[in-house]
Structure 1
Amino acid sequence: MPVSDASTARSRRRHRTEAAILEAALDVFALHGFRGATLDQIAEGAGMSKPNLLYYFASKEEVHARLLGDLLDHWLAPLRAIDPGGEPVEEILRYVRRKLDMSRDYPRESRLFAGEIIAGAPRISDFLVHGLRPLVDETVGLIRGWTAAGRLAPVDPMQLIFSIWALTQHHADFAAQIAIVAPGDRAGDPGAFLDQLYRRLLTPEAAAERIRAG
């Protein structure tokens, strides 16, 4: 086998092995948190020995940092996708749906992120300061501009964003509670509920009607 082909094969094997380790680690960290997770658990989940795992990652911290690094840009994508030139209510509702979809499709990642925040964000504080906060500030400014132009009902932009995070990520972070309290289809359709909730809150005509009715 030519040297270049052998090198490519080794690179592919390494990529597959690292992917298997990260997949197992995501399960372990999502279930046990950073403090409760061990390299033995991750190695067992990946179907390898701990010494073999340490050939690819030097520590639990390195595995965790890699998972968080892969997650963070993905986590900001729905907020970045809000279009300043779009129709304001629909843009915010699309953001709500994207966040809800992420909670459904990436529950382990959501719990990984939540666990890091609950622990005080020791490994992602720079990301929160330099990545998340500027984007949130930009979105707050956009919402204020839409409100000033009469295209959105008056609303506290920061609390609006916080409420969207809470109401969408709840479906990942508290999935066990939902399954017990509302088993089967008793929980209803969260997407339809959130669409109705935020549409009534944000549409100027709906807000004006509530004021007249009150």
Structure 2
Amino acid sequence: MNRKKPNTRIQQKNTATILEAALEVFSQFGFRGSTLDQISEAAGMSKPNLLYYFPSKEAIHATLLEELMETWLDPLHKLNADGEPRAEILDYVRRKLQMSRDFPRESRLFANEILQGAPRIGGAIQGELKDLVDEKSKVIEGWIEEGKIARVNPRHLLFSIWSLTQHYADFDVQVRMVLGGEHVDPFPDAEAFLDTLFTRLLDAHTA
């Protein structure tokens, strides 16, 4: 990616403005449905000015995905092998749900990339993400062998957490329509439900 490194405060501000506008556009229309004209209009700057900072739509998209990966992986990094297993997993569920509340556009950006076959982020998924999932799966397997939580497939446990929490970002419109409208906040009830669901799933005495 050949992007000019922003040096001045104005350049840094303009770069941030472009990325914010691009996040809004990409999260609505996906990579294929988005154009540089849409991004420059959303950023409130001319297309030639935008191209000073980023040479292409692909470069903007790649930068957003690179920045997103660190944020995306952080909740799983915090899963502590020395903590109480059920509390650690439930806290992870809550962190992922909070991400859906706080970063819905980023979630949709990630989902769109995956649906296209992860052409720009596949390396990170097969590398950094897979390595982290392997590491934390071993932690969960250790808890299972110690009898601290029910016997579950660690990777599919993580998949289920991702799907159940990210649903509230990726399908936000559907969730709110079904619940009664845009004014409805689904997250308090979602957190209570998921706490109950995973508490029962992980209870070694009832599994």
Specify the alignment match of 1:174 in structure 2.
171
Alignment pair present for 1:55 and 2:52: yes
Q: How far is the alpha carbon of 1:186 from its aligned partner? A: 8.3
Structure 1 pair 204/37, CA: closer, same or farther in 2 (3 Å)?
A: same
- Asked whether the equivalents of residues 15 and 53 of structure 2 are also in contact (C-alpha less than 8 Å), the reply is yes
- Asked whether the equivalents of residues 96 and 162 of structure 2 are also in contact (C-alpha less than 8 Å), the reply is yes
Aligned partner of residue 8 in structure 2, secondary structure? helix
Q: State how far apart, in whole Å, the 1-side matches of 2:143 and 2:129 are.
A: 21
Q: State how far apart, in whole Å, the 1-side matches of 2:129 and 2:81 are.
A: 18
The AA in structure 1 aligned to 2:77 is R
Deviations 1:58-91 (A, max 9, x none): 1000000110111101100000100000000000
Specify the alignment match of 2:205 in structure 1.
205
Q: State how far apart, in whole Å, the 2-side matches of 1:17 and 1:130 are.
A: 32
- Asked whether the equivalents of residues 80 and 88 of structure 2 are also in contact (C-alpha less than 8 Å), the reply is yes
Using structure 2 for the length normalisation, give the TM-score: 0.93
Specify the alignment match of 1:66 in structure 2.
63
The structure carrying a bigger helix percent of its residues is 1
What is the RMSD of the two structures over their aligned residues, measured on CA atoms? 1.4
| TM alignment of 1:1-214, pairs within 5 A | 11-183=8-180, 184-185=183-184, 187=186, 189-207=189-207
Q: State how far apart, in whole Å, the 2-side matches of 1:148 and 1:39 are.
A: 53
Deviations 1:94-117 (A, max 9, x none): 000000000000000000000000
Deviations 1:4-53 (A, max 9, x none): xxxxx961000000000000000000000000000000000010111111
- Asked whether the equivalents of residues 176 and 184 of structure 2 are also in contact (C-alpha less than 8 Å), the reply is no
Moved more, 180-189 or 78-87: 180-189
Deviations 1:110-143 (A, max 9, x none): 0000000000000011101110001111111111
Q: State how far apart, in whole Å, the 1-side matches of 2:117 and 2:185 are.
A: 34
Give percent identity, aligned residues only: 56
